[in-house]
Amino acid sequence: MKNYSNIYFLGIGGIGMSALARWFKANGFHVGGYDKTPSALTLELEAEGMDIHYDDKVGRIPTAFYQKASTLVVLTPAIPKDNIELVYFTSEKYEIQKRSQVLGLLTAGMTTVAISGTHGKTTTSSMTAHVLKNSGLDISAFLGGITANYNSNLLIGAPNGIAVVEADEYDRSFLTLYPNITVVTSTDADHLDIYGDHQSILDTFNQFVSQIKDKGRLIKRHGLELNVPAHVAEVTYGIGEGEIFAMNVRVEEGVFVFDYVSAHLQIKDIKLQIPGYHNVENAVAAISVAKFLKVPVAKIKEGIETFKGVKRRFEYIVKNEEVIYIDDYAHHPAELSAFIRSAKALYPQKELAVFFQPHLFTRTRDFANEFSESLSLADRVYLLDIYPARELPIAGVTSEMLLENVTSKVKKVVKKEEVLEIIKNEKLNFFATVGAGDIDRLINSIKELVQSTEYKVQSHQI
């Protein structure tokens, strides 16, 4: 990196890309980039001094980045190959590296804790980073979400300290990492547009596990079948199962409480600020990392209990006596089931309405039955149109195809523009917006609506 003074990001508004951009900016580099549309995150990056534009035109590239010898171009897989700026940088023979390659370079000299899994990795990595930082360890963290404790997806520590990294399996990105400690939360089928089938995903996770450094540690959820090399110490975790586990899990006054148990340690009555059975599991993994790094037990418990969560992961937008409105990033059937089950466990007497925006045509097609089954756990289901992200439409793949097998008492396909009116007219008092697309653009308007004096809620009778 010493050869470069200018770092240019193609897709700078991505959550992983923005963390890298912030790292380079904080370390004295000139940072700029392109993204398709402005967002709250890109506006924050601009306010932090980064030069960002939203037109895919070579003429919009700031002058400093025409200095080829001193400019590194960082690329996200979400950028299409025909992107005009990418074509220009390629034809001019700029140094171009994927985000994952750069992350691998930055963490190569650090003690790396890599949190991986088809779901659960963002919360687990953020929770782990907070527990370690709260204990006084000098850590850096590159996260896939905005943590509530630090209002950022980046923590900066010493260049030779500890790095907590969200290890992304998409496009096999995590294969650029060679961690000391690895957590694997799940290996479910996903990203089949990249992998083709589930076995290919499992093979890639096995390759990732093989890259753990000598005398390293693998912390994997109980039941996952992985080929663990002889030079790696392995431990399994779960709820009521595994070598380390949570037990006595219960809800007390709207809060999940549990005991942590291992062969040599028990930590009783740990209280989570973030709800969900899946988050109890995530906490067990985070505790196990902290134990391996010799964090004192009192500091471990304090770190878990003071973790405030991650933006868009079971995030309470409005929570009062009249209305409970939650926003969540769930976009895989397993995540959706975990979210709905946890929400209903917290408020068993209330009727839950879910506004779900499917993400990707391929994912909707590949898991149609599973999505319908997960959505049926909600009392009311409102399906928005599929968010295409990087894909073109697929004939016959629509939100309507999920509706037939949904068994909820109310089920509708609605336009995004209709959501506010539905909430208002049906006077919902317990509902969630869910999905990884742009459904979060509705949050502020919904919040303003349900907090208005005109919004009078009448509880539905189940």
CATH for 6-98, options being 3.30.565.10, 3.30.70.260, 3.40.50.11540, 3.40.50.720: 3.40.50.720
The residues of the chain that CATH labels 3.90.190.20 are 315-450
The residues of the chain that CATH labels 3.40.50.720 are 6-98
Percentages of the chain per state (helix, strand, coil), in multiples of 5? 35, 25, 40
Do the beta carbons of residue 180 and residue 171 sit within 8 Å? no
Full DSSP string of 209-278:
HHTSPTTEEEEEETT------TTEEEEEEEES-SSEEEEEEEEETTEEEEEEE-SS-EEEEEEESS--HH
Confidence of residue 224 (pLDDT cuts 50, 70, 90): very high
The pLDDT assigned to 191 comes to: 62
Tokens 């950022």 locate to 152
Q: What is the CATH number of domain 315-450?
A: 3.90.190.20
Per-residue pLDDT, averaged over 54-71, amounts to 94
Per-residue pLDDT of 94-153, as tens digits, reads 999 998 889 999 998 899 999 999 888 999 999 999 999 999 999 999 998 889 999 989
Mean pLDDT of the chain: 91
Burial 269-306 (b: 16+ CB within 10 A, else e): ebebebbbbbbbbbbbbbbbbbbbbebeeebbbebbbe
Per-residue pLDDT, averaged over 376-390, amounts to 93
Across the beta sheet with 244-252, the strand order is 152-155, 139-147, 162-167, 111-116, 181-184, 216-221, 232-239, 244-252, 255-261, 266-272
Confidence of residue 384 (pLDDT cuts 50, 70, 90): very high
The pLDDT assigned to 46 comes to: 96
Six-digit token string for 312: 């868009």
The pLDDT assigned to 313 comes to: 86
Do the beta carbons of residue 429 and residue 439 sit within 8 Å? no
| Beta carbons within 10 angstroms of residue 362's beta carbon | 17
Which of 37-41, 320-324, 392-396, 432-436 tops mean pLDDT? 432-436
Which is more confidently placed, 168 or 418? Answer: 418
Confidence of residue 453 (pLDDT cuts 50, 70, 90): confident
Per-residue pLDDT, averaged over 425-445, amounts to 92
CA distances from 328 to 234, 316, 359, 412 (A): 32, 9, 13, 20
CA distance 454 to 425: 12
Task: Indicate whether 454 pLDDT > 80.
Answer: no
Confidence of residue 461 (pLDDT cuts 50, 70, 90): very low
CA distances from 152 to 126, 130, 144, 286, 319 (A): 10, 12, 10, 19, 23
pLDDT-wise least confident of 114-118, 151-155, 183-187, 454-458:
454-458
Do the beta carbons of residue 201 and residue 241 sit within 8 Å? no
The pLDDT assigned to 456 comes to: 62
The pLDDT assigned to 118 comes to: 86
CA distance 147 to 153: 6
Per-residue pLDDT of 225-276, as tens digits, reads 999 999 999 999 999 999 999 999 998 887 899 999 999 899 999 999 898 8
The pLDDT assigned to 358 comes to: 95
The pLDDT assigned to 102 comes to: 93
**Three-class DSSP category at 314:** coil
Per-residue pLDDT, averaged over 387-409, amounts to 90
3-state secondary structure 200-219: HHHHHHHHHHHCCCCCEEEE
H-type alpha helices, 274-391: 277-292, 297-305, 333-346, 361-366, 368-375
Please, which residues have CB within 8 angstroms of residue 180's CB and are 6 or more apart in sequence? Answer: 111, 112, 113, 212, 213, 216, 217
Q: Measured in Å, how far apart are the chain's first and last C-alpha atoms?
A: 60
CATH for 108-305, options being 1.25.40.10, 3.40.50.1220, 3.40.50.170, 3.40.1190.10: 3.40.1190.10
Task: Indicate whether 462 pLDDT > 70.
Answer: no
Could you say which DSSP state residue 387 is in? B
The pLDDT assigned to 174 comes to: 86
CA distance 405 to 331: 18
The residues of the chain that CATH labels 3.40.1190.10 are 108-305
The pLDDT assigned to 326 comes to: 95
The pLDDT assigned to 458 comes to: 55
Task: Indicate whether 192 pLDDT > 80.
Answer: no
